[in-house]
Amino acid sequence: MISGDIDLDKLLDDIDQQLEILSAIAADNAILNEQLRLLQATREVLLDQELQISRLSELIDPDQDMDFSTLMELKQEPDSD
């Protein structure tokens, strides 16, 4: 997960740089202001997703044996001859 954190940090740094540049040059340009708004929204979504992933990973117990059997597989009985 460390490389994922580094990748996310790099992406957020890139977005922050773009936000800084767009903020400096956007002024009254509608297209640049919309791009600025979209980048800010994207940054917020990425941070929210990272928070959700972190919360979910805390709920998963790596020591717990995961049983991926379906309900149908559990209900099936071995053939008796």
* Annotated domain spans of the chain: 2-59
DSSP states of 20-68: HHHHHH-TT-HHHHHHHHHHHHHHHHHHHHHHHHHHHHHHS-TTSPP--
Helix orientation angle between 30-59 and 2-25, rounded to the nearest 10 degrees: 160
pLDDT at residue 81 greater than cutoff 60: no
R_g (Cα) of the chain, nearest Å = 23
Q: Which tens digits make up the pLDDT trace of 15-68?
A: 999 999 999 999 999 999 999 999 999 999 999 999 998 888 888 866 665 565
pTM recorded for the entire structure: 0.65
Which one-letter DSSP state was computed for residue 3? Answer: H
Residue 11: phi, psi to the nearest 5? -65, -45
